[in-house]
Structure 1
Amino acid sequence: MAESTIWWLMAGSAVAVELVTGTFYLLMLAIGLASAALAAHLGASITLQFLSAAVVGGAAIVGWHLLRGRRPQGPGSAANPDLHLDVGETVQVDHWQADGTASVHYRGANWTVFHRPGVMPAPGVHRVAEVVGSRLMVDRV
C-alpha cells in the first residue's frame, strides 16, 4: 500500500472520529494528516511526511485555539434568547412577596419570578433576563 494511501486513511479516520465525538480539534489534526498525504504524493521522504503532519496539524490546532479564545463568549444558556424565547420579554409584577419572589401571569400560565441578588424588588414592568428551571429572573425596566 502506498504511503499516501495510509495518510489519507488516517485523515479519514480522524474525520470519522470527530463526527462521533464532536471534537473540532480532530479536524485540525486531519488537516495535518492530509498535508502529509500530499507530501507523500510529491515524493517527500517519510521524515518530511511526519514533519509536515506535525507542523501543519500543530499549527492548525494552535491557530484554532487562539482564534476561539479571542471570540467573546455569548450569554449562558439560561440567558440566551436563541434558546429561550422568553428572554427579553416583559412581565408586569404587581406585588413582591417577602421571600423575593412574585407570581405573574405570562403566556397563559402563572410563573414564579425573582429578581437578581442585591436588587430591591419593586412593582412594575420587568424584563426577563434568564430562565432558571421553571422560574424567570427579571430586571426592572
Structure 2
Amino acid sequence: PHLKAVTLSAAAIQYKVRFSMSTYVSSAPQKDAQPVCLGISNSNLYLACTHGPLNTIKAGDPNGYDSLLFYRKETGTAYNSFESVKYPGWFITTAFDDWEKVEMYQVPTNRTTNFTLEDQQLLPS
C-alpha cells in the first residue's frame, strides 16, 4: 500500500485520513525538534523511512523502530516538517499535484516538505 496526497474537497472527503502523532521520549540529545511516530488512526499502519521494502517490525527488533521515527520541526507559524531519524536529511514530502505518492526526499526538492496540523487533539497518556 502507498499513501497518496489529494486536496480535500467535498468530492474527495472519503479519502481523508487522520494520523495519530505520538511523541517519542528519549534521553539522547535532540536536534531542536520533537521525535514523533506517525500512525494512521484506527489501524496498525505507520509511516516509515526505509531503503527498500519494509517488512513487519517484530517486538524487540532493535533495527526496526528507528525507521518509524521522525523529527517534527516547526517551520514557520503554521507549518511542520518531518525528517527521518534513521536517515538524516530525508523528509516526508508530497507533490503539488493530486494523487501522487507521499514519499521521502532529500532537500532541496521541488516537492513540499511543509505540512499543517489541523484538528489537533491531545489524548491522555
**TM-score, normalised relative to structure 1:** 0.20
Report the structure number with the largest CA radius of gyration: 1
**TM-score, normalised relative to structure 2:** 0.22
More strand per residue: 2
Q: Which has the higher contact order (CA 8 A, sep 6+)?
A: 2
